[in-house]
Structure formats: structure tokens, C-alpha cells
Amino acid sequence: MSNLNSTEMTNLISKMPLPEINKGRGEKTAEDQDKSLRKACADFESIFSYYLLKSMRAASPSSSFTSFPGKDIYNMLLDQKIAEDLSHKGNGLGLQTMLYKQLSRNVLTNEQGGDKQGQDAGRTGLIIKG
């Protein structure tokens, strides 16, 4: 196999077709799509919150008095749990609501025959098709 530089690899990847998310499982109902989209938005907010907490922890000063073996792993697990709880209870940070409003317009537009904006969303892989 020949060695490819990063430009050639990027060109090859950009020409590859995007896989359909639910290929072979039949059509999803609008209610299933709505649930999947809401969960994806909540999960994205959870990941965002985790990196926010991780960055805040890295920016705070540490002391030799508070360090112990396994502290990094403990902090990682704690930050993940806090971020997950934050995003799945109530309205979270509000990011999932904004994402859902934006993405649901694209999904509904594409399902109803679509316009240019909905077609663009489908090409970028944001549409859940059966």
C-alpha cells in the first residue's frame, strides 16, 4: 500500500458516502426520531459539560496536600457523572434545547419533502433515515 499524504487522505475520505444511521432496521416513526434527536442533544450537552468541567479543574491550582494516587481517575469519573446528571435533569445548560430546535427543523424539513436547507443537513449526516 502506498503512503498517502494528509491532503490525499482528506480527499479520499470526503468522497466516501456517509453511512445511513439505521440502515436495515426499517423506517423510524416521527416519535422515534424525536426521541433519538432529544437523546443525542442531551448527550452532546453532557460531553460539552464534561469538557467544561475538565478545563475548569485543569485551570485551578493544585496542592501537594490534595494529591493522592488515582486522583486523576477519580476526578474524571466525578466530572463525567456531574456532566451527565446536569444535562439529563431539567433543562441542563440550555444547549440541548437550542440544538434540538435547530436540528429538528432540519429533520422535519427533510421528512416533509425538503428544501435546500434540509437537503444540506441530510448530506452532512444529521438526518436519521431508515
Backbone angles phi, psi at 89, to 5 degrees: -115, 130
State if pTM tops 0.85.
no
Which pLDDT tens digit goes with each residue over 32-69? 888 888 888 989 999 999 999 999 988 988 877 778 88
pLDDT, residue 80, reads 93
Alpha carbons 91 and 97: distance in angstroms, whole number: 7
The reported pLDDT for the residue numbered 119 is 46
pLDDT at 111: 60
CA distances from 82 to 31, 50, 58, 92 (A): 29, 8, 16, 11
Helix and strand element counts for the chain (H, E): 5, 0
Amino acid (1-letter code) at residue 87: S
Domain boundaries, the chain: 22-123
What is the DSSP secondary structure assignment for residue 93, as one 8-state letter? T
pLDDT of residue 13: 59
Give, for 121, the enclosing helix (H) or strand (E): helix 116-123
